[in-house]
Chains A and B, each alone.
Chain A
Amino acid sequence: MTDVIDQIFVRAKQHLFSPLAGAPDWLMQMVSALINIAAVLAVFLALFALISVLERKILGRIQNRYGPNRVGPFGLFQPVADGIKMLIKEDIVPARADKIVHFLAPIIIAATAILTLGVIPYGRNMTPFAIDGGILFFFAIGSTTELAVFMAGWGSNNKFSMLGAMRAIAQMISYELPLIITVLPVVMVVGSLSPDAIVAAQDGYLFGIVPHWFVLTPWGATAFILFFVSGLVESNRTPFDVPEGESEIVAGHMTEYSGFKYATFFMAEYFGMFAINGLAVTLFLGGWHAPVAALQFIPSYVWFFAKLGALLLVYIWVRGTLPRTRVDQIMNFAWKFMLPMAFTCILSAAGWHYGGRGVAGWLWSLAVIAVVYLVLSRLLDTRKRFAPRTYRFAE
């Protein structure tokens, strides 16, 4: 019974396939791909609508106000109203804009964000596109976002847009390094670039209650935190939202976009957020595996989306809590702290592996992280030590 519910979507797809039994191979592949694409789009558009209204509600709670509560029960139909509003708005293109580049930028951003969603395993047998080099695919496609952001900034022919694009690219390039390097220890330990293999390697439980997730090892925990912060930067969320800082440069690279193109940017940002958190779940939080052996009867996709939802709630919480950081602080943090710590994770994972992946390895791994962290924090301590203040004229 549990197996039927777990595989219900896989079987639904097979059922859709059955009329095509004798069809040529290429047609089967194409139909299969189209079904997968439709499923991914439908699920994540629904999640986008849900998260956008949830974010506004939770931010409202944090800021001691109601948030949207007019459209539908508890304001749940707010995204529908927003969508209609965005659709019927006038699409304004600046007269001096580079029309083609201005038009293509939101399309490319949305396309890359959707493509990265395709390689994440959402449940048992539920990877839309199981590529051997899935992790590499994710980052290869993700790195083209920078070009699209630049196109948006340059094509708008606006100083605010250009400034926002420059800031976005600078911080995205800086944080792409720790983001990718924190993935390396996982790839090293598993020995594969395939997301499915990484999820499979995190199967099994210690005493039936402690899962074999990488986040429960010292190197995994460190890498997860670094990955999470880098993901926050990559999706331009609040503590690191200088590219679109409303109080400084209007809306950054999105300043000259209106109506549905702006909505596309907004959607791409959320899709990117889902993708990076989905990857974090896959790499460190055991993918679709249940946290306790006794809870394995709950379907795998429920676990995946529960973990994804938990990470997204932390994103919203962080947005409601932390103020915006300065550009130089972001850069210093990336190059002086994140990058050395990311390299330490690799070393620490090696200690874990050669320590036998047991208690000894766990302690070795912890020791490496602790030593480097203490040395780094001592070196980076920039608190100026002032002499006691003396008063020359007023006693």
Chain B
Amino acid sequence: MNSTAFVIIAILTLAAAIAAASLSKLIHAALSLAVAFVGIAAFYFLLGAEFVGLVQVFVYVGAVAVLIVFTILLTRRDAIAPERFNWPGVIVALAVFAGLIWAIYKTPVLSTSAGPIEPLTVKRVGQVLMLDYVWPLQCVGLLLTAALIGAVILVMEESDEER
């Protein structure tokens, strides 16, 4: 049952990912990417990581995909240049893929079986975030605040020039 589901989800996710990389219309590629994100969320559900799967849909489909789509909208719609095969790109992609495969096979975690999955409790998530990982959390918060202030400053400068 699980392996059948895995194969179906894998085929769908990979097809969406290939479509995202190869479709000529940018919007189609972005929407295919959203489908691939949903596929990855489905993997998380299959592994019993309900919380991560839901957050994956929430953040990537609800926010990142919308952001990508907006970015495409705001860029100019030039005529698409005739595509040449991008050999350096292929080499870089293959190198990254090989590196990832090597790293995954070297990881000892794969050989151990997963522990029992705890039911999702907000208390547990809160405890882990606020006790164990409080410094990374604060760093991320600082980074995001800086990004937010940066975005506001960019917008403010633009309106000053207009005046």
- List residues of chain A with CB under 8 Å of any chain B CB: 26, 98, 100-101, 131-133, 136-137, 139-144, 146-147, 150-151, 154, 169, 173, 187, 191-193
How close is A146's CB to chain B, nearest CB, in angstroms? 5
When distances are taken between beta carbons in the complex, the residues of chain B under 8 Å from A139 are: 58, 62
CB–CB B121/A136 < 8 A: no
Residue of B27, B50, B62 touching A143 (CB-CB under 8 A): B62
B31, B70, B120, B121: the one within 8 Å of A101 (CB): B31
Per the bound structure, the CA–CA distance linking A140 and B123 in Å amounts to 20
- The residue in chain A whose Cβ has the minimal distance to the Cβ of B69 is A150
Closest-CB distance, B15 to chain A (whole angstroms):
15
The reply to whether A136 and B28 form a contact with Cβ atoms under 8 Å apart is no
Give B contacts to A, CB under 8 Å. 1, 25, 27-28, 31, 34, 50-51, 54-55, 57-58, 61-63, 65-66, 69-70, 73, 119-123
A134 to chain B, nearest CB (A): 10
Shortest A200–chain B CB gap in Å is 15
- On chain A, the residues within 8 Å of B119 by CB distance are 132
Which of A132, A169, A191, A192 touches B66 (beta carbons < 8 Å)?
A: A169
Residue of B nearest to A25 (CB): B1
Q: Is the interface of B mostly helix, strand, loop or mixed?
A: helix
On whether the beta carbons of A133 and B50 are closer than 8 Å, the reply is: yes
**Are B50 and A131 in contact, CB atoms less than 8 angstroms apart?**
yes
Inter-chain CA distance A53–B121, complex, in Å, is: 42
Which residues on the A side are within 8 Å of B73 (C-beta)? 154
Give the contacting residue for B62; candidates A101, A146, A192; CB below 8 A. A146
A57 CA to B145 CA, complexed, in Å: 50
Query: Contact: A133 with B31, CB < 8 Å?
Result: no
Do the beta carbons of A147 and B61 come within 8 Å of each other?
yes
Q: Name 18 A/B residue pairs within 8 A (Cβ), A-sorted.
A: A101-B28, A133-B51, A133-B54, A139-B58, A140-B54, A140-B58, A140-B61, A143-B58, A146-B62, A146-B66, A147-B34, A147-B61, A147-B66, A150-B69, A154-B27, A169-B66, A169-B70, A193-B120
Smallest distance from the beta carbon of A278 to chain B beta carbons, Å?
A: 19
